[in-house]
Amino acid sequence: LARKVATTLSGDPLTKKDLATCYTRGDWLNDEIINSYLALIVDYLRRTNHNAGRHDKPRFHAFNSFFFSNLRDKGYESVARWAKRAKIGGPLLLDVDTVYIPVHNNQHWTLVVVRPGERSIEHFDSLGALSRRHIAVVKTWLRGELGPQYVEEEWRVLPSLSPQQDNGSDCGVFLLSTAKAVAIGLEPLSYGAADTPLLRRKIVAELMAGGLEGGFDPAQGGQALL
Active site residues: 108, 125, 171
Strand runs labelled E in the chain: 4-7, 13-15, 60-62, 98-104, 109-115, 120-124, 156-157
Q: What is the DSSP string of 169-211?
A: S-HHHHHHHHHHHHHTT--GGGS-GGGHHHHHHHHHHHHHHTS
Nearest to 169 by CA among 52, 33, 3: 33
Tell me how far apart the alpha carbons of residues 105 and 103 are, in angstroms, rounded to a whole number. Answer: 6
Contacts of 177 (CB under 8 A, 6+ apart): 163, 188, 191, 195, 199, 203, 225
How many CA atoms within 13 Å lie on the side-chain side of 40? 24
* Residue 30 backbone zone (phi > 0: left; psi -120 to 50: alpha; other: beta): beta
CB atoms inside a 10 Å sphere around CB 55: 4
- Would you say 174 and 90 are in contact if contact means Cβ atoms under 8 Å apart? no
Nearest to 110 by CA among 203, 29, 184: 29
